[in-house]
């Protein structure tokens, strides 16, 4: 996706907006008792298939095939091995899709390949999380039921339309509970409306700042850094808007999130934009994905879990040169962050020194985030080389040198 494309609302958002009336209709039918549990699962599944075909066209097949295959694996493989099978097959499929559609998503004005890839990545989150639940025994197989009765909740979960194109990772156990209890929950118009107003405010702020972007351009180093920082801020605001809208759609359909389960709360937004710790930014950015990566990779990796987590994140995002460099650079910066801050915080004893420490490290954090986003969004190896050889690399290189010097210092996690 080009930087210019990020200055408009992400393409999936328009389909999310179109799904709001269907989400309200679904909740109203459940509240009035007109839908049985089987009918609810069927409505959510049919809505997901319809939304996939509408948003992706023929590319929807690339989403429906792995969803159906994953359900077959979940039902046929023993809990001891189900995660290995699901993880391997789904990541192989997703990698092939990235290789086949990656150039189309970057170069074509057609948004459908990009929407399809995003939906496949979200499917990977859901199916690997569900496989881990089954492997760990927190979700038990439904024995004594027919194949279709067992498959319907799984298919509905993987493809239910409120979370098909976006939104935080929704646990399968909570999905089942919410689907069964929707009749007792009033239509959450007020909660969804607040989120929509929040998305509108973020979008208005982004549009307002977009007008200042050309003015930030200049020949001086300071003007160039301000321009890069503002582009990164516009990038983040576009995603904040998308995340809030995704959660509003889930709320409208009756699948509200518990506190701390979503991708973005008011507190998270404040932390992301004010933290002086790069490690805190990494944990707070896209929180449900961070929790998924922690559970899937970090907690299960015996050696170098931080590096392995960021390396897998690069693979999950598509393994383009920008992804590999950007996420590995991020891992090194976070590792350095763990060691730099204990050293600096011990030095900053007075109030003035603390203000200087926090202000300087906040600026460094903002510039490093802008650098990483620049790297991740590089569309070619030549563009990445230009970034490497620019003065923007001085700060990340400095962090790397400091990491080497403080490698024997204890980490502050």
Catalytic positions, please?
286, 317
DSSP character at residue 12:
H
Question: Angle at the Cα of 254 (from 31 to 53), degrees rounded to 5?
Answer: 105
Long-range contacts of 387-395 (CB under 8 A, 24+ apart): 391/221, 392/225, 392/228, 392/367, 395/364, 395/367, 395/368, 395/371
**Tokens at 202, concatenated:** 């973020």
Q: Report DSSP letters for 350-390, one per residue.
A: SHHHHHHHHHHHHHHHHHHHHHHHHHHT--SHHHHHHHHTS
Residue 232 class from Cβ within 10 Å (0-12 exposed, 13-18 middle, 19+ buried)? buried
d(CA 193, CA 11): 21
Q: Report DSSP letters for 138-168, one per residue.
A: SS---TTS-HHHHHHHHHHHHH-GGGSSS-P
Contact 290, 309 (CB under 8 A): no
The percent of the chain in helix, strand and coil, each rounded to the nearest 5, is: 80, 0, 20
Residue 178: CB atoms within 10 Å: 18
Torsion of CA 159, 249, 168, 191, to 10 degrees: -150
Q: Give me Rg for the CA atoms of the chain.
A: 22
d(CA 367, CA 361): 10
Question: Angle at the Cα of 187 (from 182 to 193), degrees rounded to 5?
Answer: 130
d(CA 87, CA 309): 15
d(CA 413, CA 57): 45
């Amino acid at each position: 996706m080009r930087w210019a494309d990020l200055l408009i609302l992400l393409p999936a958002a328009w389909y999310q907006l179109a799904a709001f009336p269907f989400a309200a209709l679904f909740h109203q039918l459940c509240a009035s008792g007109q839908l049985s549990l089987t009918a609810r699962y069927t409505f959510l599944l049919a809505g997901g298939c319809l939304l996939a075909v509408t948003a992706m066209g023929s590319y929807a097949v690339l989403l429906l095939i792995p969803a159906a295959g994953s359900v077959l694996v979940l039902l046929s493989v023993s809990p001891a091995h189900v995660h290995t099978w699901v993880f391997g097959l789904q990541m192989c499929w997703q990698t092939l899709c990235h290789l086949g559609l990656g150039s189309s998503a970057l170069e074509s004005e057609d948004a459908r390949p990009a929407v399809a890839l995003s939906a496949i990545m979200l499917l990977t989150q859901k199916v690997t999380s569900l496989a881990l639940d089954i492997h760990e025994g927190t979700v038990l197989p439904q024995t004594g039921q027919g194949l279709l009765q067992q498959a319907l909740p799984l298919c509905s979960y993987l493809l239910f339309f409120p979370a098909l194109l976006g939104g935080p990772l929704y646990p399968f156990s909570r999905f089942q509970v919410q689907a069964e209890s929707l009749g007792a929950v009033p239509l959450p118009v007020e909660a969804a409306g607040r989120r929509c107003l929040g998305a509108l405010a973020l979008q208005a702020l982004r549009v307002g700042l977009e007008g200042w972007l050309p003015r930030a351009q200049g020949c001086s180093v300071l003007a160039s850094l301000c321009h890069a920082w503002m582009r990164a801020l516009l990038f983040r605001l576009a995603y904040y808007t998308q995340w809030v809208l995704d959660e509003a759609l889930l709320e409208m359909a009756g699948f509200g999130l518990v506190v701390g389960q979503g991708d973005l709360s008011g507190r998270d937004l404040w932390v992301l934009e004010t933290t002086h710790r790069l490690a805190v930014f990494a944990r707070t950015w896209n929180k449900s994905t961070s929790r998924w990566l922690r559970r899937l990779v970090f907690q299960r990796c015996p050696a170098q879990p931080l590096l392995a987590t960021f390396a897998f994140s690069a693979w999950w995002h598509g393994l383009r040169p920008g992804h590999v460099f950007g996420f590995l650079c991020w891992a090194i910066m976070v590792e350095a962050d763990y060691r730099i801050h204990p050293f600096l915080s011990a030095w900053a004893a007075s109030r003035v020194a603390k203000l200087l420490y926090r202000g300087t490290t906040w600026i460094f954090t903002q510039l490093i985030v802008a650098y990483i986003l620049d790297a991740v969004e590089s569309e070619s190896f030549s563009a990445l080389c230009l970034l490497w050889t620019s003065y923007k690399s001085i700060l990340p290189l400095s962090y790397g040198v400091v990491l080497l010097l403080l490698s024997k210092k204890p980490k502050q996690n």
